[in-house]
Chains A and B, each alone.
Chain A
């Protein structure tokens, strides 16, 4: 009898639990470790924006050895954040990723050079060693170099490329004249290491006309035809964008929310607040819907890769959709 009561009790509790938490599960794979670059998602979770949309969101941090495209291919995520060049390259390799929303309007990528290495303008690049991130992040750099007409194979007329780790050591050590940096992260590591902005020359990819779209939301094309999945994504995009706009307006609080979610404990308060303020400049101007003109500019830039283009054919409109963002944001 006692057993029976326990069983009934468990059953009733279970039914109640299902009723209260029948939220849809969404797994988001970030492109990089937990930091203010992804503040919008952490804010949406912390402030309950996802709960309001009846979503149960799991945010998986990335890292130097995690390729979001590979995670989604293996079924480890429903939606991933990726840079458009590597998403389009993955698409060409047979993994049909589709951009459903684009919270970042501008690119935060730049090449930061030391003046004492003799760099004033891009004309000074030949013969110099430049640090570049690989693992799918090299595409904007390669299309810039091909636009400048500089070979990257180490020949005399071109530049020497070294694979930069995800830090700025090569610049500080003098092993490279320039390194890749993000406006919101590595640039400040250089400043923190003791160099002043006067010691540095900065080339923003935006200013050089080779900026490509960063940190868009991508899903698998075949999933979009499932109405339940599409509906989930509509709610996810709506809540995430709400999180982003909240983070833009409250950078300090958003940075603290990110810190609370940083299981590694590697981030500091000062660094995250500064990062959030810089990231807010990049998300400003985007309501979450992808601007087709930005998409075309990215594609054109990638196609101009000279002898070794990033993508060989224009992926066309199939690589992005407004179907989700239209429903989410209007």
Chain B
């Protein structure tokens, strides 16, 4: 009962504090603190509810249980992280986005490819991952290579479409101006069209970050060596080690946010000239 009361108090005071912050004049400090308070409140209320209502650990472990499991199994988590995020997701992301970029430029250069390749890209994007994953596991083996292949399939299309679209962004007037400067195709591409395509390209890259992680984890459900985040999540459920499952989810959340945040930071540096970036302080 005292846990429930504690949860209620935390909830109300967290709410009140954030409401007070919102009433104050806008400041960058408040903008950082408000979501932190929200997150901390959520975790504390979760802890209080699990303890107060006596929810079985097998169904929903308390955040403190998850933290203990996290601390006790850092070696396992690190090994899984290397396997899934570094080997599976990142390599697939690099290959998928890289090849999509090159093909997008080719499509832009040769219009007949646009009619031939884009529909194929469309088709690949429509393939469900749970249908593709077992086949790719069969082709590329059980290790990270097949996971990377699934990631390639997943990130390829958003990257392709965004880049193709981005390359058409520059105005005819600007292209005419480049021609009067005596710039050829490659010079125009490099100096005008790629820079103006950057907001689109980064859009594709950002969408790809989360897709890559999902693809790598889900692909491990369909056969894997005995490590990796997807392996651990799918097998630990059967062992009722829910605290370890949640620890893996925490790792996935941190890895995904960091990955996305990293790409967003690079975007900010590269497309500083774009209105969407300029308008921010």
Chain A residues near B (Cβ < 8 Å)? 65, 67, 69-70, 73-74, 86, 89-90, 93-95, 134-138, 152-154, 160-165, 169-170, 173, 175
Contact = CB atoms under 8 A, between A and B. Distances in A.
A90 B237 CA distance: 11
Given A162-B223, A162-B224, A162-B226, A94 B239 contact: no
Contacts of B220: 163
15 contacts: A67-B237, A74-B59, A86-B239, A89-B240, A94-B57, A95-B240, A134-B231, A135-B234, A136-B238, A161-B226, A162-B224, A162-B225, A163-B223, A170-B223, A173-B138
Nearest to B57: A94
Contact of B238 (A86, A153, A160, A173): A86
A251 to B, nearest CB: 30
Contacts of B2: none
**Which 6 A-B residue pairs are closest in the complex by CB-CB distance?**
A135-B238, A136-B238, A134-B235, A73-B58, A93-B240, A162-B142
Contacts of B57: 93-94
Given A138-B235, A175-B141, A67 B223 contact: no
Contacts of B58: 69-70, 73, 90, 93-95
B222 interface: yes
A163 B225 CA distance: 6
Contacts of A89: 239-240
Contacts of B42: none
Interface residues on chain B, size class: 20 to 34
B256 interface: no
B241 A161 contact: no
B195 interface: no
B28 interface: no
Contact of A70 (B138, B142, B234, B237): B237
A164 B226 CA distance: 10
B238 A134 contact: yes
Contacts of A175: 141-142
Contacts of A69: 58, 240
A95 B238 CA distance: 13
B134 interface: yes
B223 A93 contact: no
B166 to A, nearest CB: 40
Given A95-B58, A175-B142, A152 B223 contact: no
A67 B138 contact: no
A162 B220 CA distance: 11
